[in-house]
Structure 1
Amino acid sequence: QLQQGQGASLPPSLPFRQFVAQARLGVGAAEHEAYFRAQLGEVDEPTLPFGLSGTQEDGSRQEEWRTRLPMALADQLRQQARRLGVSVACLAHLAWGQVLARASGRTQVVFGTVLFGRLQGGAGSDRALGLFINTLPLKLEIGAATAREAVKQTQQALTSLLRHEHASLALAQRCSGVAAPQPLFSALLNYRHSSGYEGDAPDWDGVEVLVGEERTNYPLILSVDDLGAGLALTAQTLASVGAARVCAMMETALASLAAALAS
Structure 2
Amino acid sequence: MLVWHHLIGDHVTLEVIQKEISALLDDRAHALGTAQHFRNLVAQARLGASQQEHEAFFRGMLADVTEPTLPFGLTDVHHDGSSVAEARVTLPASLNTRLRTQARQLGVSLASLCHLAWARVLGAASSADADGRIVFGTVLLGRMQAGVDQALGLLINTLPIRLDVNDASVVDSVRDTHERLAALLQHQHQRRSRSLSDAAALRRPHRSLARC
Residues 181-260 of structure 1 correspond to what in structure 2 (within 5 A)? 181-183=204-206, 185-189=208-212
Gaps of 5+ in 2: 1-18
Which residue number corresponds to residue 165 of structure 2?
142
Residue of structure 2 aligned with 1:166, choices 189, 192, 197: 189
Which residue number corresponds to residue 195 of structure 1?
none
Which residue number corresponds to residue 109 of structure 1?
134
**Residue 134 of structure 1: CA displacement?**
0.3
1:49 aligns to 2:71 (yes or no): yes
Gaps of 5+ in 1: 190-263
Cα contact 1:47–1:184 (8 A) shared by 2: no
Q: Find the residue that maps to 2:89 and give its secondary structure.
A: strand
Structure with more strand by fraction: 1
Normalised by the length of structure 2, the TM-score is 0.81
Which whole-Å CA distance do the structure 2 matches of 1:88 and 1:159 have between them?
Answer: 13
Q: Find the residue that maps to 1:187 and give its secondary structure.
A: coil
Q: Find the residue that maps to 1:12 and give its secondary structure.
A: coil
Cα contact 1:178–1:184 (8 A) shared by 2: no
1:37 aligns to 2:62 (yes or no): no
**Residue 185 of structure 1: CA displacement?**
4.3
Which residue number corresponds to residue 241 of structure 1?
none
1:22 aligns to 2:44 (yes or no): yes
RMSD of aligned Cα (Å): 2.0
**Residue 55 of structure 1: CA displacement?**
6.6
Distance 1:173 1:75, change over 3 A: same
Residues 77-116 of structure 1 correspond to what in structure 2 (within 5 A)? 77-106=99-128, 107-116=132-141
Q: Find the residue that maps to 2:36 and give its secondary structure.
A: coil
The residue type paired with residue 68 of structure 2 is P
Which residue number corresponds to residue 13 of structure 1?
35
Residue of structure 2 aligned with 1:74, choices 88, 96, 100: 96
The residue type paired with residue 88 of structure 2 is R
Q: Find the residue that maps to 1:63 and give its secondary structure.
A: coil
**Residue 143 of structure 1: CA displacement?**
2.5
Normalised by the length of structure 1, the TM-score is 0.66
Identical columns (%): 44
The residue type paired with residue 110 of structure 2 is V
Which whole-Å CA distance do the structure 1 matches of 2:43 and 2:182 have between them?
Answer: 23
1:176 aligns to 2:204 (yes or no): no
